Chains A and B, each alone.
Chain A
Amino acid sequence: MAFDVSLGQYYEGKSLIHKLDPRTKLIYVIMFMVSIFVAKSIYAFALLSVVVLLTVIFSRVPIRTILRGLKPLIVIVAFTAILNIFWTKAESDPLWQWKFITIYKEGLINAGLLALRIILLLVETTLFLSYTTTPIELTDGIESLLAPLKLIKLPVHEFAMLMTIALRFIPTLTDETSKIMNAQKARGADFSSGGLIKRAKALIPIIIPLFVSSFRRADELATAMECRCYRGGEGRTRMKKLKFKVKDVFGWLFSIALLAGVILMNIFLAEYGYMI
């Protein structure tokens, strides 16, 4: 078993996108998501693709790294797109027909656009939220954006801390899993042959030590936090305070302009829209 964790990995850099405030990036990503689901016109898709391409270039994250992160998801994207080809029904003459399967031109275009949609979405969100933002920045950003919810007594800080810890321990646990797997392999464990039940059983020698060590780690972490007088968010100060800068204002304006542009294109260039 191999663990590909490149999706969701921070890529060290000093680009403009790296330096944006995480809150700006979160707002932008939300705006981008809305835009991509609102987009109907082919021009809107062209605009969004260009934006994604430009942001990738600006971030200086190698395109190869991004493509490698996409690799495990290609199957899902392809599957969704192919389903779409067969499911679309249109008024026009079918391109191809065989028993109950009919393929329309609209179906092909729909499938293509759907695949494009998912890929653009994946690239842009991972680029902004994981390749160029450390997990700590991200959770700080989320905590700060959700701060108004404190007024209705939601434990926003605790939620953010929970996320920080969870994110922090993903690489640790991946590491630990591969260590335990190697150790059991060295004792002749075989994870890749036999039926389903045999394979499930073969995982027991990995899962039990993993659980035991997770509980141990949780316990140690709790003790360590208490030793440093952690008692929740109230009155807690930060070493790195989030501060909006001029470039963040441009970021917001860009986000709004993008959404507005997509909506305008939908209205005025609607005859080129194919999505149903």
Chain B
Amino acid sequence: MSIIELKDVSFVYGKKTPYEIKALDNVSLNIEENLITGLIGHTGSGKSTLVQMLNGILKPNSGTVIVDGEDIWKKPKKIASVRYKVGMVMQYPEYQLFADTVKDDIAYGPKNMKLSAEEIEKRVFRSAEFCGIDKETLEKSPFDLSGGQKRRVALAGVMAMNPKILVLDEPAAGLDPKGRREILGGIKKYRDESGTTVIIVSHSMEDMAMYCDRVVVMSDSKILSNGTCREVFSQSQLLKENGLDVPEITNVVLKLREKGINIPNDIYTVEDAVKAISSLSLERRAKNGI
């Protein structure tokens, strides 16, 4: 079932000025409930704009945004309630931290929702745990933390609002591989336990292949491709024509196919590649009678 529906959404930045830029061009898209959807595209392809449509930070010039069965701009004054439903973690969220302690910062969102003190406390601890923030860190000032830790605090701050849909704009940008795994792994674990619908914007094809159920590819303010990882990454030709890449391992598989080895072209994780190659070599041994 789709929880988010975009219908013919268009958006232009700086309308009627010399700096006018078209960011979304008649985009229609459905996002499925309980899945992790990846959104890929070049810088300037409209991903971040699209994502900011989902919780009403930007208002489309035309078209409708339907979240959870309701047109979010039907009552513009109630737009704040949409923001509790759709939690949004912006790019480089570590720069939005402000409170005296990590705990207070995570509690900022739930406090705005006017929850009871106990409920806030419970949510702070729960989301801190998902993001790998220990009890000691909760009492520290957010400005004393490392970049990766700050990122996790910001993420926990949004998770603590218990949104139905969690949107993350480049959650792993600028982190080392270990940091990426921790953040993205934490998000996946959170989804598995809470059933939240997650949308991740990213540049990294590997991350997408590893953590997402579905992938949406954007190019030039339009949606280029939309499907499961397998469907999207098997269209390597289309992706490459639009200046995008496929995961490294898919590239290896494609090279093998070029050499005349009969391996399926819809492989996008290392595990699958290992399986396919070992079954191929078993076949060959059987054929040769070894």
Contact = CB atoms under 8 A, between A and B. Distances in A.
Interface of A: 6, 11-12, 65, 176, 179-180, 182-190, 204-206, 208-209, 212-213
A238 B113 CA distance: 56
20 contacts: A6-B17, A179-B95, A180-B96, A182-B57, A182-B90, A184-B108, A186-B55, A186-B87, A186-B88, A186-B89, A186-B90, A187-B157, A187-B161, A188-B83, A188-B112, A188-B161, A189-B112, A190-B80, A205-B96, A209-B98
Contacts of B80: 188, 190
A204 B98 contact: yes
Given A185-B57, A187-B157, A189-B112, A11 B18 contact: yes
Contacts of B89: 186
A212 B108 contact: no
A205 B158 CA distance: 15
B84 interface: yes
A187 B109 contact: yes
Contacts of A184: 96, 108
Contacts of A208: 98
A176 B90 CA distance: 12
Contacts of A180: 95-96
A202 to B, nearest CB: 10
A180 to B, nearest CB: 6
B46 to A, nearest CB: 17
Contacts of B50: none
B90 A179 contact: yes
B52 interface: yes
Interface in B1-41: 17-18
Nearest to B98: A208
Given A6-B17, A188-B80, 19 more contacts: A12-B18, A65-B17, A176-B95, A179-B95, A182-B52, A185-B57, A185-B83, A186-B88, A186-B89, A186-B158, A187-B108, A187-B112, A188-B109, A204-B98, A208-B98, A209-B95, A209-B98, A212-B95, A212-B98
Interface centre among A183, A187, A205, A212 (most CB of B within 10 A): A187
A208 B98 CA distance: 6
B243 to A, nearest CB: 26
Nearest to A64: B16
B93 interface: yes
Contacts of B83: 185-188
Q: Ordered nearest first, which 4 A-B pairs have the shortest CB separation?
A: A188-B112, A208-B98, A186-B88, A187-B109
A209 B96 contact: yes
A186 B88 CA distance: 6
A128 B3 CA distance: 53
B112 A186 contact: no
B211 interface: no
Contacts of B93: 183
A184 B98 CA distance: 10
Contacts of B157: 187
Contacts of A204: 98
Contact of B57 (A65, A186, A212, A213): A186
A60 B75 CA distance: 42
Contacts of A205: 96, 98-99, 108
B97 interface: yes
A6 B19 CA distance: 11
Contacts of B97: 209
A154 B52 CA distance: 49
A187 B127 CA distance: 15
A250 B96 CA distance: 53
Nearest to A206: B98
B161 to A, nearest CB: 7
Contact of B112 (A6, A11, A190): A190
A187 B108 CA distance: 7
Nearest to A207: B98
Nearest to A190: B80
Nearest to A180: B96
Contacts of A188: 80, 83-84, 109, 112-113, 161
A80 B213 CA distance: 63
Contacts of A65: 17
Interface string B130-173: 00000000000001000000000000011001000000000000
Nearest to A189: B112
Nearest to B157: A187
A65 B18 CA distance: 10
Nearest to B57: A182
Nearest to B154: A183
Contacts of B18: 11-12
A200 to B, nearest CB: 15
B153 to A, nearest CB: 12
B96 A183 contact: yes
Nearest to B56: A185
Nearest to A204: B98
Interface string B66-87: 0000000000000010011001
Nearest to B19: A9
Contacts of A179: 90, 95
